[in-house]
Chain A
């Protein structure tokens, strides 16, 4: 079997097999993820050797479904497979005491399979299908603990936010297919015609929904209601990454105006969500806000016209953010909470986990020689080199500064405080998954030159960018470590705590009108209902009247006839005395009477 198919089919087989066998779900999921990982490594090796694998499957008429193994897709697929496998290893420990392992691991495997399909998709139709599938599986996973309060509503909110933005992707894809006449992504990209600004903006809308960009960043923080491995996977390599991956893949197509819009949206997001992260009171929500912020930086890089810089940050961020989440999951288990107030000193309980968390946090802030440094560097260099450097570079630098500040804040809270050691079940598995990802977070920087040669596009690296980036990162770290986030934000604090709800935010502009509409519909429905009930009551009354006339009219007549007959019979019965003499006498007298009458009539006529 071709490795291309195996990459998708191995996790899919695990997803199908787990609910059927219902035994050892974790091992089956790991088996599927491992097979997928090996296949994707084979694919990557093939792609770096110049081999372009492709698989054409029967699909719509004249629009076959394609899986392609270009260097970019193979690289992304490897990323998904590696992070997926390590997160699954971690999840074996994390879910040790959960009762619904079968459902969890089946959905996780399905999620990985869907994401692999999305990454490897060679045509728009398969991409759309995979796009929907990751939306579905993330809905299922965020709502995994659906019995807890607010979880179902968080899952629904995530689903609706991303679904709404998905409409942009549908419109963009239909426009692209209509203008180029082909559903193949490669053909569309190289058609040379370029795309209209409208297509670019529609794609941006789709990416904004999935990658939780301002003003659609709210759902991502609420999505923290799911299990921690889900958050780790969601934020690093799958759902949220899909938006950035879409833009990275379509970047050659986009006109400058659309690129500028992308860069500005990304820049605003990275600052806004960075401020939210500084004000956040929950560790997982802080990490979620930071995810939005990092994807904002990637959008800045795409907007600056250097999608490869965004790709580097995407890869580094995948390893870093998943290790941060996995560390947070351990702290969550040891304190049974993710609120920062409860986590004071949690780092001291588990110094090894804290060391991993710290390394990942420093990597995210962009401290050399960790992987984040190289990626941040590339992004800042791209923003400086772009034609809109005045707009994009300050936003990118502010984002970097804020990254350092909120990561230092999280580290300080985790380190300062008293030890309260509590045993954590399954720590060995969790530690193994975390260690793998932290090693990637540290060492991925060494692989970047290889990636750059693989994609055949060197990333500009002026010394100025390096200097600016490093000083912003160090400055941010220092600010975050020494000054509490509350004081740092000053007057912005209450606003940031509400998630920068602009004039009431989504609630006022979308939720309230929708609710009002729903209430109007409800009233209309109540009216209709009352009408229907009135008609029903009328029918009932009519029926009752008919029944009454039946009972008292026709039946009454018949029964009174019956009663009369019975009464007559009873009266006749009293004549029968049983005394033979009396009856004989009666019959004699009656006969005599008859004769008398006959005689008289004979005489008379």
Chain B
């Protein structure tokens, strides 16, 4: 059985929902970022599915997915850099304690 568009969209929505739940429910910065990764992964599954089943002749969709993946990697590098710096300075990455981000 070859997967069809609907299945792919359901998997993407599931990934998005798990990620959103993780990002909102966790207090640890690392866990929040993992949630964000999952949200983005859900969005990528959708993008790939739309490309594969609706416009397989165009490469633009493929290229777009690759660029989003690169941006994800870069974003993670920055996020973990912030987490490490904060851990070194305060000994914790609990976001409930990070009120000084307020403008």
Contact = CB atoms under 8 A, between A and B. Distances in A.
A569 to B, nearest CB: 10
Contacts of B100: 578
B102 interface: yes
B101 A578 contact: yes
Interface in A329-377: none
B59 to A, nearest CB: 29
Contacts of A580: 32, 95, 98, 101
**Interface footprint category on A:** 10 to 19
B20 to A, nearest CB: 7
B24 A573 contact: no
Contact of B24 (A576, A579, A584): A584
Contact of B99 (A579, A584, A585, A588): A579
A577 interface: yes
A573 B20 CA distance: 26
Interface residues of B, number: 13
B100 to A, nearest CB: 6
B102 A588 contact: no
- The residue among A573, A576, A584 with the most chain B CB atoms within 10 A of its own CB is A584
B96 interface: yes
Nearest to A576: B103
A581 B94 CA distance: 11
A134 to B, nearest CB: 94
B23 interface: yes
A581 B99 contact: no
Interface in B64-103: 95-96, 98-103
A585 B24 contact: yes
Contacts of A578: 98-103
B102 A581 contact: no
A588 B20 contact: yes
Contact of A576 (B23, B32, B98, B102): B102
A79 B99 CA distance: 114
A317 B32 CA distance: 130
B95 A581 contact: yes
A580 to B, nearest CB: 5
Interface in B16-52: 20, 23-24, 27, 32
Contacts of A579: 95-96, 99
Contacts of B99: 577-579
Nearest to A578: B102
B30 to A, nearest CB: 13
Interface string A557-585: 00000000000000001001111110011
Given A579-B96, A581-B95, A588 B101 contact: no
Given A578-B102, A580-B32, A580-B101, A588 B96 contact: no
Contacts of B102: 576-578
Given A578-B98, A579-B96, A584 B103 contact: no
Given A573-B103, A576-B103, A584 B23 contact: yes
A588 B21 CA distance: 11
Contacts of A573: 103
Nearest to B95: A580
B24 A588 contact: yes
Contacts of B96: 579, 581
Interface string A492-510: 0000000000000000000
Q: Which 8 A-B pairs have the closest CB atoms?
A: A578-B102, A578-B101, A576-B103, A578-B99, A580-B95, A576-B102, A577-B102, A573-B103
5 contacts: A577-B102, A579-B99, A580-B32, A580-B98, A581-B96
Interface of B: 20, 23-24, 27, 32, 95-96, 98-103
Interface of A: 573, 576-581, 584-585, 588
Given A578-B103, A581-B95, 12 more contacts: A576-B102, A576-B103, A577-B102, A578-B98, A578-B99, A578-B100, A578-B101, A579-B99, A580-B95, A581-B27, A581-B96, A584-B24
